[in-house]
Amino acid sequence: MGFYLAQLLTGLANASSLFLIACGLSIIFGVTRIVNFAHGSFYMVGAYLAYSLVTWMDGGIFGFWLSLLVAALIVGVLGLIVEVTILRRIYHAPELFQLVATFGVVLIVQDAALAIWGAEDLLGPRAPGLARAVRILGEPIPEYDLALIVIGPLVLGAIWLLFHRTRWGILVRAATQDREMVDALGVNQRWLFSAVFVLGSALAGLGGALQIPREAVSLQMDLSVIGEAFVVVVIGGMGSVSGAFVAAVLISVLNAFAILIFPQISIVLPFVVMAVVLIVRPYGLFGRPGSEAGGAEEPEQPLRLMSRRGAMVLAAFVLILAASPAVTGDFTSILLVDVMVAMLFAVSLHFMMGIGGMVSFGHAAYFGVGAYAAAMGMKYLGLSMLPAMALGPVAAAGAALLFGWFCVRLSGVYLAMLTLAAAQILWGVTYQWGEVTGGDDGILGIWPAGWASGDKAYFYLAMVLCVGGMFLLRRMAHSPFGYGLRGVRDSAVRAEAIGMDVKLHQWMGFTVAGAFAGLAGVVFVFSKGSVFPDVLGISQSVDGLIMVLLGGIHALAGPILGAGVFILIEDWVTRLDYWRVIFGGIILVVVLVAPDGVAGGVDRLLRAVGIRRGDAT
């Protein structure tokens, strides 16, 4: 009995931490509709600041709690800076831009934290006065856990009072329901948004600060927490603070008991719960379909078939690519394989996102499934290279068929969140199921067959697969199927009215995109000779998003250009210390200066200097 109570109390303490992180994220999303990846960074900075302040002050109980509050306040100021300098400019951009911009902030904060606090994990002091454990029904319960169990509901109560008893809070709730209406009533939106962002960031900072007696402060805190925080927000209903609380309790308590039966479940469980909730209640437990995110986008221009001249230029490029191993070294060939893999991955993502209008935050899932399927086919089934390569896209299509069925039932940012959940579930399974997937150690020794094993030989194989894959996707974009996807994106109502099966069409689009991402994964795994769980991770998914964004989402050539630029920048930048700052800076510049991507930016530049003429885009 006492044991189960102890599990419950641990679960509740975890729920409090989770709630503190998630509620800020939820408030920010509710009002600004921004999916803020940088929230995890604020959490991490809160922990680091609290660590420094507590060690510096060293002032007993009062000093400890004061340090935590000061840390939260500083993070609030940091939030204000980010909001004013970056987010304020992109409130009306599509969610993809916002997500990628906040990811740029993540990268910059990571390097800043590395520079200030170093790469070592920092073990925080225990909370003065709460350092011991009390015995409840014979089981030791840390006093600090009990304190957390109290703090969570206290913060919930404070936010409730703020939102229901102050004019500001009422405006925030109104803005969560209908941003335009609040604007029409003459409320200063800028001020409201900034204030909300400060509050949300400070709460994240407080959440991080409160963690220091419980876990070591590390540079991995940001991305490890953000996934779960999103899950809580989505389950609770985006913008709902009490929903976040209920969701945090639900997940943490379920988890506390589930690990007794199946210890490996903890990474996967939150995402499974989220998937179930979203299917039953598409807007979360307490959520309502809010006002639309972002602003109205300018309608895309009609597609054109490639002109004769365009086809010739393209053919020339392919020929140069094919001839490149003759004149360059093996190193270039290896780099070019990376570039082609990235291009195919980005084009497949663009197929569902640009053409199909389904934003995916978890496209890496299908890349990873393709890579793992090929690796496992070789390792366990004893397949030779080509059959293993064929297995990859088939398995990826299977995974996309399964998860896509759920995802296409939702739309917009909710669909994106479910794709993220799907990817995290697959990542969790891969990571935890060590006996089969090798877990963290990955699967090694996946090399191409003898005839394709040289760097140059493999380059040609990769080229056939990647260029072929991109050709097929382009051909499909111009086919009735691709037009149908664009039609559904433009107007689902019209698509239905001409007799289309909208969900089936989206589902198939999702599956096709997954299959080709799987093909990219296959080419990837044989070029590296090994595969690790991070191929399914958030970073890989975000890389794809950045490539599509870099290239510009409105052009079929966009993702190809974007992926090329991305890999070349990455290759150059990652050789430097603090490459994340540079990379994050580049991302922010692109989002803020050239929101239509490199292709669009170049286009506008040419028009501006008068080299190219035509209608303004």
Contacting residues toward other proteins, per CB under 8 A: 299-303, 305, 475-476, 478-484, 486-487, 489-491, 493-501, 505, 508
CB of 558 to other proteins, least distance (A): 14
| Residue 17 to residue 23: CA distance in whole angstroms | 10
**DSSP 8-state code for residue 575:** T
Residue 503 Cβ vs other proteins, minimum distance, rounded to whole Å: 11
The alpha carbon of 550 is separated from its chain's Cα centroid by a whole number of angstroms, namely 16
Query: What amino acid is encoded at 299 in this protein?
Result: P
Torsion angles phi and psi, residue 217, rounded to 5: -85, 125
Q: How far is the CB of 569 from other proteins (least distance, A)?
A: 30
CB of 399 to other proteins, least distance (A): 20
Q: Give the C-alpha distances (Å, rounded to integers) separating 153 from 88, 233, 244, 260, 578.
A: 31, 17, 12, 26, 40
Q: Which value, to the nearest 10 degrees, does the dihedral of the CA atoms of residues 470, 474, 479, 482 take?
A: 90
Report, in Å, the least distance between residue 491 CB and other proteins.
5
Q: How far is the CB of 72 from other proteins (least distance, A)?
A: 46
Q: Show Cβ contacts of residue 324 under 8 Å, excluding neighbours closer than 6 positions.
A: 332, 333, 336
Classified as helix, coil or strand, 262 is coil
* End-to-end CA gap in the chain: 68
Name the residue among 122, 94, 100, 88 with its Cα closest to residue 38.
100
Report the C-alpha gap between 325 and 321 in whole angstroms: 8
Instruction: Write the burial class of residue 327 (CB in 10 Å: 0-12 exposed, 13-18 middle, 19+ buried).
Output: exposed
Tell the smallest beta-carbon distance from residue 319 to other proteins (Å): 24
Strands (E), 261-405: none
**Dist. CA 110–CA 97, nearest whole Å:** 20
* Nearer of residues 79 and 404 to other proteins, judged by Cβ: 404
Closest distance to other proteins from the beta carbon of 305 (Å): 6
Cβ proximity to other proteins, 165 vs 494, nearer residue = 494
Is the CB of 38 or the CB of 508 nearer to other proteins? 508
CA-to-CA dists, residue 592 to 541, 584, 597, angstroms: 21, 12, 10
Distance, in Å, from the CA atom of 523 to the CA atom of 361, rounded to the nearest integer, reads 22
Q: In terms of CB distance, is 280 or 493 closer to other proteins?
A: 493
Tokens of 526: 């044989």
Whichever of 302 and 382 has its CB closer to other proteins, that residue is 302
Q: What are phi and psi of 530, to 5 degrees?
A: -160, 165
- Tell me the closest approach of the beta carbon of residue 356 to other proteins, in angstroms: 12
Give the shortest CB-273-to-other proteins separation in angstroms. 31
| Strand, helix or coil for residue 188 | coil
CB of 177 to other proteins, least distance (A): 22
Contact between 107 and 584 under an 8 Å Cβ cutoff? The reply is: yes
Cβ nearer to other proteins, comparing 207 with 482:
482
Q: Which amino acid is at 68?
A: L
Query: Are the CB atoms for 243 and 285 separated by under 8 Å?
Result: yes
Question: Which of 55/491 has CB closer to other proteins?
Answer: 491
CB of 500 to other proteins, least distance (A): 6
Compare residues 104 and 484 and give the one whose CB is closer to other proteins. 484
Output the DSSP codes for 219-252.
TTHHHHHHHHHHHHHHHH-TT-HHHHHHHHHHHH
Nearest CB to other proteins, comparing residues 321 and 500: 500
Which residue's CB is nearer to other proteins, number 326 or number 498? 498
Choice between 384 and 479, CB closer to other proteins? 479
Alpha carbon distance 361, 345 (integer Å)? 13
Q: Which is nearer to other proteins, 16 or 506 (CB)?
A: 506
Residue closer to other proteins (CB basis): 445 or 480: 480
Phi, psi of 135 (to 5 degrees): -95, 120
Cα atoms in the Cβ-side hemisphere of radius 13 Å centred on 217: 30
Whole-number minimum distance, CB 475 to other proteins, in Å?
6
**Taking the complex as a whole, how short is the minimal distance between the CB of residue 606 and other proteins, in angstroms?**
22
Cβ neighbours, 10 Å, residue 266:
15
Closer residue to other proteins, CB minimum distance, 33 or 489: 489
Q: Which long-range contacts (CB under 8 A, 24 or more apart) does 406-410 make?
A: 406/275, 406/278, 406/279, 407/358, 407/510, 408/358, 408/503, 408/506, 408/507, 408/510, 409/279, 409/282, 409/503, 410/278, 410/282
